[in-house]
Structure 1
């Protein structure tokens, strides 16, 4: 698909098109990558004031952002593979990508809260905007993940994953509320 390297206009046209991919999972990954980017920017501007902890935050959020960028394309590829093969393994992979977006978003939210509290106060609104994108991504990616997991015969696996995703969402919401 190579969505990551296309123009934003091209990506949005594909997203709006009559094709199942890219869809909500890919869009959630993009939103998460944008949120992580805003937090990375805020943290980078805060390096002189906050020292080693902020440097660790910059390194960690950059790594997460790069992983999220990969998920933008990975989601559509995994879903297309499932539609082609219709196997349990392909369905699990189609669920794994949005689950990973949820996990990475939750990690980025924890870093973003630190940046909002300890970083440059002039950039707090950018940091909080990033947190909002990440929370939207976590919520948005959980939906296709749960939909894909419903198709598994192992219902207990789907239930456990659902509980884990909802716990991530609840914890992330509480963290974000602590900086507003």
Structure 2
């Protein structure tokens, strides 16, 4: 089933079902897609307005980047669920002989690495949204400034949520160098996402 083609109601109901996918990783991607869409919207509401003519070029650049990221995140919704399903398929492989056990073990490790990488890329890309949110909050149409703030909030949730899903998969991966590399990259990104959100929200004057 292609999740991104579902209605909002169908997607939410599928998430709430007994099926383990879509789960937190797909929801993190959805949060990121929502954040990107809000940034794109504020930029769109700024472009063409005489009052904001001086920042029109900036807003067009933000609009294009946000649209690009939005599409990427929507695709990640399915990629995350598909990666989880590959792990489940690997666990179902035969294990009657030593050779089969070895093949099964390698398949599980390969699938688990993929299941860690997908949400890592979600979080990594979601981190880019803070700079775009800052652009629309500080330069964009002030009638929609709270939408930029909600984008920043969703970006933080997307990073945190995606990385939680990375970490739970890393616990099953035997490749220590792979685990160490992803942990270091996540730590560097996570170290200031809370501060980024707080800073952006402080710029919203109501």
1:61-114 CA-to-partner distances (Å, cap 9, x unmatched) read 100000000011111111101111252221111111101110111011221112
What is residue 154 of structure 1 aligned with on the other side?
Answer: 175
1:20, 1:69 → 2: CA distance?
19
Matched ranges for 1:62-141 at <5 A: 62-86=67-91, 87=107, 88-141=109-162
SS of alignment partner, residue 10 of structure 2: helix
What is residue 46 of structure 1 aligned with on the other side?
Answer: 46
2:189, 2:23 → 1: CA distance?
22
Are the counterparts in 2 of residues 31 and 134 from structure 1 also a CA contact under 8 Å?
Answer: yes
Are the counterparts in 2 of residues 110 and 175 from structure 1 also a CA contact under 8 Å?
Answer: no
Asked if 1:18 is matched to 2:39, the reply is no
What is residue 58 of structure 1 aligned with on the other side?
Answer: 63
1:122, 1:74 → 2: CA distance?
35
Aligned-pair CA distance for 1:177: 2.1
SS of alignment partner, residue 22 of structure 2: coil
Kindly name which structure, 1 or 2, has the bigger radius of gyration based on alpha carbons. Answer: 2
Are the counterparts in 1 of residues 152 and 200 from structure 2 also a CA contact under 8 Å?
Answer: no
Paired residues, what number?
180
Moved over 6 A (4+): none
SS of alignment partner, residue 4 of structure 1: helix
Root mean square deviation, CA, Å:
1.4
What is residue 29 of structure 2 aligned with on the other side?
Answer: 29
Asked if 1:173 is matched to 2:194, the reply is yes
